[in-house]
Structure 1
């Protein structure tokens, strides 16, 4: 193709692997399904185990410990943030995809969740986006509603994710009338796309990072009603249904063994009628959120089709991590206070769940219906936390309408798009400052059918967050999950035969495990991973809790 392609990068927040119809789900997602079936679905695509680390890797092509998000800003302190790579925002040692594409003549646009800095100096507008409307933090009420309570009186759990918004460099003091996050982000992106003149020959890079379906679970009543009764058989039944569909679609093998559900919460049979109804309602709302996200993607696609630009647009879709399985009230410092605060200031009656003044999440069992056959979910470096649904749709694809089972990561997106744009990542300096090289690999040769795999078999990739660790080479993976959610030692898995990470081969293959542990140390040395287990009481408590989120289920569910 002689004309440089446009890029549309869509990110869902905490979407499960099998939530979309094209990935085995029952949720109505026709627009994303059409794109996915027309493109290349990726079944072995990896992110970080949580949102801001993934977004840092996605926009810089390097590891989040190098880019400034070694630990999530919400759960670090000044002791943590003084270390290079742990600043809590994108640092100046990296250059962003938006900066490089802007320099190459692209229109750079973002509308949605940023989560990489909460100041003008660390905003999207300061990192290469010419037009930007962003949610700065981790999450927010999807209707922009908040109880009239001073911030200092809110529990830390809710305050740390309290949303603030910014357009360009300016903070917003009010949201648009009728605000609903997925709709509003799409509205603004469409505004930015329409600003381009008919004779504007500059291609665009449009980044649409939704904050859905991140908690609190909220969606329009009419959409929630469509799912009434759909989940009354519970999460185990849904899990089995989705596993069957994954096999039918060829996304997993017929003989794949799913990791058993890990949860200390009551199973479906142990809940009383009210508990089951509340839990099913939360899942109904979640499904409605995903459907609304899909509808909004359809609006963007319709615009591009109407303007004749869709055929020259490469679309990438992914989730930022595995499904959210948190039981948030388990956080030892803030959980009980958050429960009391929610009970006092929100209305979580079954009939009100999903509305602006409700605040619920769906817990570990529904999450593992979506991550199966993988082990665990968000915040864990097991496959359930880091393997995410993803697809690439573009007329230049060699394998259109196909499925890829080859390993790739979010770090590969930057070099891929730069190569398509006809530009390159700087070697060592950008605008007078020293920068780090990218760690990802361009997928272009693979997508065009010129190479057999995106990565060489001997390459290694590492993960770490809140002391959960993993290192992978080829299809061998060493995994360290701290106690109590893991054994507190390194385990070894052959993902070719055991994608559910069930059968630990550490004793059977000691030499292989030792080699991977050496690769892990190399990864630590290269990326600056630090162990902050003794850094301070708050961080210690939160770090421990964030790998213990299966311990209880919200009382509202």
Structure 2
């Protein structure tokens, strides 16, 4: 009896299973995977944003850049579609179908592997990888990776997509040359070609609004990947009149004065070392600002005013997207990567050999008072472009630093390296490994989903961003670049570049403007890097063009 009583008392003193469960520490919920937003500006100059030394009003991008990590050593391809192929694939553009722009293939490149003009079957995109990791995926803006139905973004991992298939178009949606050049701009939404655009269409406004709409339709239980690819400030230079008016008279002093002012601000911000000299202007007609006529100066200043207005409007629309993320409670858990797709555009539309340009200019109204309107069709030329790429040499289309070094930044509160400036070398091929790894996925290897694919050539920034490493790319690593027969090899601080006039050697740590050729005093290094070029070209399947470059 006593034993039974003791057992009963012991049983009563023991906590019930429910109490035990209640008192047990609950396992921490798995960390919420970050949303991802990539914003691409088209032909933006390295020094255009305020956070990179510019005077254009860009408060939204500046705030993101200053709270994030500004990347002064980030590099893309020399033009848009090759960059986009690398950004989405993580591999070299010659292996991702864009060894050259589809519009500008040399005769000996047509039909060659790597020169398809679209993403081939052995390329897996960032959108596919993230979708397979459970992300909702959406894009809005420029595609420029093929126009066939099977090239549509919805066939490459995007659940929702509003896209301009080609490389550029009238920003107001109605081109004055449409009757002369039908079919030059194709817009699709979720794979369906749109017969027309709204009457109040303006590119930057439309792309941001569509993306916000797509984000509102995504499953809130899923993280999202959003790809916002503006066509601004790519030519034709066109902007709403109220934005152009903000910049009247701001550029009357000319491009040399603008370059000097921006370089001074870059040095004050710590983006460029003190004492760095920019590369001297290289102007096709040899005339600096002082030698332009009063009429030419007025036209040139107005073109820069319109360009600044386009950048301003782009920033306004970035602000709308950020406001949406904050209003929906998603901002603090969103990785934001911003980059330009190449250097500033220095093309002279009046002299370029680009097909269809003569017809476009014939149809345009490029009188001074109409510049920036929907019926105008202009670019701002090599003077302003070189001010925009300061302190670098040249601009879009070239493998010099002015063509490939781009404004870029990463913003995410969860990373240690935020609120500063990184001078580490980076390439657009790093985007896929960095973001896939941040999403909890794997990116190494040459197989994916049962098929053989091009392996990722970039490197993940995550160890660097988390403060676990001092660099992303090692000092011995080789990275090659080629477009239009212009070529370059980068290894650490050293770079060789051939723009059609032979190899030159530069130390970019000492000379980011590529002003002092070191080939004569470093012959052994030059020889080593030329051999590295040969190996890179063979491995990437580079086909040097049989005809001279016609761009820019």
Alignment TM-score, normalising by the size of structure 2: 0.92
1:62 aligns with 2:91: yes
Secondary structure (helix, strand or coil) at the match of 2:550 reads helix
> Offset at 1:425?
2.3
Match in the other structure for 2:103: 74
Provide the alpha-carbon RMSD of the alignment. Answer: 1.5
Match in the other structure for 1:269: 290
Match in the other structure for 2:327: 306
Flag the 1:119–1:302 CA change in 2: closer, same or farther, 3 A. Answer: same
Secondary structure (helix, strand or coil) at the match of 1:208 reads strand
Once residues 419 and 477 of structure 1 are traced to their aligned partners in structure 2, the CA distance between those partners, rounded to angstroms, is 29
> Offset at 1:77?
6.6
Q: What CA deviation, in whole Å up to 9, does each residue of 1:290-343 have, x standing for no partner?
A: 000000000000000011100000000000000000113323475xx734x345
> Offset at 1:427?
2.2
1:225 aligns with 2:245: yes
Asked if 1 retains the 8 angstrom alpha-carbon contact of 2:177 and 2:364, the reply is: no
> Offset at 1:426?
5.9
Match in the other structure for 1:53: 82
Secondary structure (helix, strand or coil) at the match of 1:478 reads strand
Match in the other structure for 2:490: 472
Once residues 409 and 253 of structure 2 are traced to their aligned partners in structure 1, the CA distance between those partners, rounded to angstroms, is 30
Secondary structure (helix, strand or coil) at the match of 1:411 reads helix
Match in the other structure for 2:26: none
Once residues 170 and 106 of structure 2 are traced to their aligned partners in structure 1, the CA distance between those partners, rounded to angstroms, is 25
Asked if 1 retains the 8 angstrom alpha-carbon contact of 2:255 and 2:384, the reply is: yes
Flag the 1:85–1:408 CA change in 2: closer, same or farther, 3 A. Answer: same
Structure 2, gaps ≥5 residues long: 1-29
Q: What CA deviation, in whole Å up to 9, does each residue of 1:497-527 have, x standing for no partner?
A: 1111111111110000011011111111111
Match in the other structure for 1:507: 520
> Offset at 1:146?
1.7
Once residues 205 and 319 of structure 2 are traced to their aligned partners in structure 1, the CA distance between those partners, rounded to angstroms, is 11
1:544 aligns with 2:549: yes
Deviating more after overlay: 238-247 vs 421-430: 421-430
Match in the other structure for 1:433: 451
> Offset at 1:267?
1.9
Asked if 2 retains the 8 angstrom alpha-carbon contact of 1:63 and 1:411, the reply is: yes
Once residues 363 and 343 of structure 1 are traced to their aligned partners in structure 2, the CA distance between those partners, rounded to angstroms, is 15
Alignment TM-score, normalising by the size of structure 1: 0.91
1:6 aligns with 2:30: no
Once residues 49 and 338 of structure 1 are traced to their aligned partners in structure 2, the CA distance between those partners, rounded to angstroms, is 21
Residue correspondence of structure 1 range 202-217 to structure 2 within 5 A: 202-217=222-237
Asked if 2 retains the 8 angstrom alpha-carbon contact of 1:330 and 1:545, the reply is: no
Match in the other structure for 1:87: 116
Asked if 1 retains the 8 angstrom alpha-carbon contact of 2:416 and 2:465, the reply is: yes
Asked if 1 retains the 8 angstrom alpha-carbon contact of 2:361 and 2:377, the reply is: no
Match in the other structure for 1:552: none
Match in the other structure for 2:269: 249
> Offset at 1:274?
1.3
Once residues 238 and 148 of structure 1 are traced to their aligned partners in structure 2, the CA distance between those partners, rounded to angstroms, is 33
Once residues 524 and 398 of structure 2 are traced to their aligned partners in structure 1, the CA distance between those partners, rounded to angstroms, is 25
Asked if 1 retains the 8 angstrom alpha-carbon contact of 2:354 and 2:550, the reply is: no
Asked if 2 retains the 8 angstrom alpha-carbon contact of 1:39 and 1:397, the reply is: no
> Offset at 1:149?
4.8
2:421 to 391, 403, 409: 403
The structure with more radius of gyration: 2
Once residues 332 and 70 of structure 1 are traced to their aligned partners in structure 2, the CA distance between those partners, rounded to angstroms, is 20
Once residues 211 and 366 of structure 1 are traced to their aligned partners in structure 2, the CA distance between those partners, rounded to angstroms, is 19
Match in the other structure for 1:163: 185
- How many aligned residue pairs are there? 522
2:66 to 37, 46, 50: 37
> Offset at 1:433?
2.6
Q: What CA deviation, in whole Å up to 9, does each residue of 1:509-548 have, x standing for no partner?
A: 0000011011111111111001121xxxxxx2xx4222xx
Match in the other structure for 2:214: 192
1:517 aligns with 2:537: no
Secondary structure (helix, strand or coil) at the match of 1:406 reads strand
Structure 1, gaps ≥5 residues long: 483-487, 534-539, 550-557
Secondary structure (helix, strand or coil) at the match of 2:312 reads helix
Once residues 18 and 30 of structure 1 are traced to their aligned partners in structure 2, the CA distance between those partners, rounded to angstroms, is 14
> Offset at 1:196?
2.5
Residue correspondence of structure 1 range 210-359 to structure 2 within 5 A: 210-265=230-285, 266-332=287-353, 334=355, 338-339=357-358, 341-359=359-377
